[in-house]
Amino acid sequence: MIGLRDRKRRDTHARIQGEALRLFMTHGFEAVTLDQIAEAAGVSRRSLFHYFASKEEMALSAKVEIGPRLAQAVARRPADESLLDMAEAALTEMAQDFQGPEARALARLISTTPALEAGDHAKYAALETTLAAAMAERSGRAADDAEIVVVAAAAIAIMRHATDAWLAADDSRGPEVFGHALFAALRRAARG
C-alpha cells in the first residue's frame, strides 16, 4: 500500500510533468520558463528540482515508461519466436500506448527542439540495450549474442525512422504502420 507521503509526491510529480508538457505544447519548449511551470503546477521553483533535474527532463519524462513497456511486451512473446518477429511484435504492441494527437505533438516537440534531441538520442541507445536484454532473456540467449545485438540495433533504428515517417505523414495512421513497412523492407534486403 502506498502511504500518503508517497502518494502526494507522485501526484506532485505528475502535476509538474503535466503542466510543463501543456506549457511546452502551447508556447514551445524554449519560450517556457521554470517560473511559469512552477506557477502552473502550484509549487515553488525550488520544489521543481526535487522532482526534475532540468526542463529537458520534464519534457522527456513522458517517455520514461517506454523501456519497461518494451521489455514487458517482449516478455509476452513466444520464447521460440524469431528474434525479428519478436522485436517487431513488441514494438507494435508498445506503439499502441503512444498514439493520438498528444503523443504526436510530444514527439514533434522533441524532434524539433535542439535542446531535447540529445536526450532523445540517448533514449534510443538505452532502448537498444533494453530490447537486447529482454530478447536475450526471453529467448534464453546471451545478451551479447550477435543475432540479439544486430536485431536490437535494427529494430530501434526502425523505431526511430518509423517515428520520423509518422510525424512527416501527419495523418491518422499510427507509427506502427510505418514500422511494419520498414521491417518488411529489412526482410526483403536480408533475402538479397
Q: How confident is the model at residue 101 (pLDDT cuts 50, 70, 90)?
A: confident
Query: Residue 183's pLDDT is what?
Result: 97
Query: Residue 118's pLDDT is what?
Result: 84
Query: Residue 174's pLDDT is what?
Result: 87
Give the whole-angstrom CA distance, residue 62 versus residue 108: 13
Residue 86 has pLDDT above 90, yes or no: yes
Q: What is the mean pLDDT of the chain?
A: 92
Query: Residue 65's pLDDT is what?
Result: 84
* Closest by Cα among 148, 104, 109, 130 to 25: 109
* Closest by Cα among 191, 192, 159 to 178: 159
Torsion angle of C-alpha atoms 179, 181, 185, 186, degrees rounded to 10:
20
Give 30's DSSP letter.
T
| Model pTM score | 0.86
Q: Is 42 left (phi over 0), alpha (psi -120 to 50) or beta?
A: left
Give the whole-angstrom CA distance, residue 174 versus residue 191: 27
Cβ(47)–Cβ(68) below 8 Å: no
For the segment 123-131, the average pLDDT, to the nearest whole number, is 93
* pLDDT tens for each residue of 7-35: 898 999 999 999 999 999 999 999 999 99
* pLDDT tens for each residue of 139-177: 999 999 999 999 999 999 999 999 999 999 978 888 999
CB count in 10 Å sphere of residue 87: 29
